[in-house]
Amino acid sequence: MLGRTLMVQGTGSHVGKSFLVAGLCRAFRQDGLRVAPFKAQNMSNNAAVCPGGGEIARAQAVQARACGIPPSVDMNPILLKPGSETGAQVVVRGQAVGTMTARQYLAEAPRLLQVVRESLDRLRAEYDLVILEGAGSPAEVNLRDSDLGNMRAAALADAPVLLVADIDRGGVFAQLLGTLRLLRPDERKRVRGFVINKFRGDLEILRPGLDFLVRRTGRPVLGVVPFAGDVRLPEEDTLGPRSEVGRRADRVLRIDVVRHPHIANFTDMDALEAEPDVLLRYVDRPDGSLPDALILPGSKTTIPDLVHLKACGLADHIARCVEEGVTVVGICGGFQMLGTRVLDPYRVESGTPAEEGLGYLPAITVMDRRKHTALVRAVHLESGLEVEGYEIHMGCTQHAGDAAPVFRIVERHGMPAEGLEGLAAAGGRVWGTYLHGVFDSGPFRRAFLNRLRAHRGWPPLPPAGEPSVDATLDRIADLLREHVDMAALARLAGVEGVPRHGRAP
């Protein structure tokens, strides 16, 4: 018997679909169900690596953690990684198959529908409940015939749909009623209830609107979830408008992160944001001041973003940072930019075949057609501290002079491995690595920050308690239990017989 299904769709992007799916996954798992997440198609440059090396969106990897299971390529069979305004790299079941324009991708939709069906069936054969997440809005009428992520996925799964709207944006009733009105009759029948997300204020003032919505649609409002700004999961796709995050104490380290036009895997900075002595800023132009450290994060299109650095004045700002003793770190695409040259002979990422790098590390990167993905465990050579991370990159970087490696690889894909990784120069003040998630290791992160503190003449701080993703997921589950009719959702999904509130091991 195939597992049951429940789908969360939204009236638009950023209404909280990923947040709600993660919380529902954790709550139903706590109730003793074997649960798995599923998103047929995701568009995101924030990716994660599964055991075995396949690549999926980071949001689905977090949702898998909520379920207490390893991430699988079946949880996100199609991942689109935008590299320009009109094109994206297409990843199918964890493997990059090429770069397509929007029209090319739409022409592939019928073939990819079979991929979606097979991945969904595999999950349903293994788990009691699969919670599907939609993509954007199901009411994009121009994309209806090629839709893979919303109502077509719901039909494949025969899933009841929960429609979610963001009241913090305003116009919540228009969002819900307008979306419902634009659906086809058969699609409309799948929508079995509403959830209003990010609510602030007095629920009694909202209640007349909820009653109107129920009368107008004949569907229940199954939850009003309060705004939970202090509960954060890794961002799914866009960095959003934020420019400064972190603490404002008397003694804080300022870490600037370059906001590339095609920034990727900026979740690498999440652990730094949580530190008590860090103020993190995302910058897209120099302002004349110097930080304690500057980080060049990943990029989906290294050469175009490198050209942008030079054009907007940030390359000159980085030069000043290096001259003044600021620590400069490059991760993945940022590591490639710190080298002497980046070559793209096969036009893998853009139409530009070569670009001079910033020149702070003696390394040349050549883009190739094969994507390198791996889960990695390594030891930081200077401190002896262990880190865990993952690689997702298209280029191969070769040493082209004297520089020290940064890490010693001890495990790749869960198997013992040997090798050196990364490069450092300027006495360790300038370094680069391909390891995403390198700052997630608390002892290494604190050693990095204490080196910045020493440069200021400040005493070191001990490692803080690790920010726990699992604790956050438990908080979200508790929030949903309090503000969503979980019994009604269990009935919708056909899993109402499971004992409530039992914590699974």
Please write the tens of the pLDDT for every residue from 128-146. Answer: 999 999 999 999 998 888 8
- The one-letter code for the residue type at 185 is P
Residue located via tokens 């001890």: 410
- Using the Cα atoms of residue 481, residue 487, residue 492 and residue 497 in order, give the sign of their dihedral: positive
35/248: higher pLDDT: 35
Report the C-alpha gap between 135 and 57 in whole angstroms: 12
Lowest mean pLDDT among 104-113, 161-170, 371-380, 491-500: 491-500
Report the C-alpha gap between 236 and 56 in whole angstroms: 11
In percent, the amount of the chain with pLDDT more than 90 equals: 78
Residue range 404-420: average pLDDT?
94
Domain with CATH 3.40.50.300 in the chain: 4-232+470-493
Residue range 259-288: average pLDDT?
92
- Computed over every residue of the chain, the mean pLDDT equals 91
Gyration radius from the chain CA atoms: 23
| Residue 34: other Cβ atoms inside 10 A | 16
Residue located via tokens 């954790």: 26
Domain 4-232+470-493 has CATH 3.40.50.10490: no
Q: What is the pLDDT of residue 475?
A: 95
Report the C-alpha gap between 266 and 238 in whole angstroms: 9
Whether 500 has a pLDDT exceeding 50, the answer reads no
Residue-wise pLDDT tens digits, 349-360: 888 999 999 999
Q: What is the pLDDT of residue 401?
A: 77
Whether 498 has a pLDDT exceeding 60, the answer reads no
Residues that are catalytic: 332, 436
Q: What is the pLDDT of residue 294?
A: 98
* Cβ-contact 57, 94 below 8 angstroms: no
Residue-wise pLDDT tens digits, 224-263: 999 987 787 766 555 554 555 555 556 899 999 999 999 9
Q: What is the pLDDT of residue 414?
A: 87
Q: What is the pLDDT of residue 92?
A: 96
Lowest mean pLDDT among 55-64, 93-102, 483-492: 93-102
Confidence bin at 348 (pLDDT 50/70/90):
confident
Domain with CATH 3.40.50.880 in the chain: 252-456
Q: What is the pLDDT of residue 87?
A: 81
Cβ partners under 8 Å of residue 136, min gap 6: 10, 12, 13, 149, 150
* Cβ-contact 412, 70 below 8 angstroms: no
Confidence bin at 316 (pLDDT 50/70/90):
very high
* Cβ-contact 304, 350 below 8 angstroms: yes
* Cβ-contact 446, 452 below 8 angstroms: no
Report the C-alpha gap between 364 and 356 in whole angstroms: 9
Q: What is the pLDDT of residue 395?
A: 86
Residue located via tokens 């920034």: 263
Q: What is the pLDDT of residue 296?
A: 98
Q: What is the pLDDT of residue 238?
A: 56
Domain 252-456 has CATH 3.40.50.880: yes
User: What would the DSSP string read from start to end of 143-181?
Assistant: GGGG--SSHHHHHHHT--EEEEEEGGGS-HHHHHHHHHH
Q: What is the pLDDT of residue 125?
A: 97
Q: What is the pLDDT of residue 143?
A: 85
Look up residue 222 and give its two tokens: 């199954």
Q: What is the pLDDT of residue 243?
A: 55
Residue-wise pLDDT tens digits, 43-96: 999 999 999 899 999 999 999 999 999 999 999 999 999 886 558 899 999 999
Residue range 11-18: average pLDDT?
94
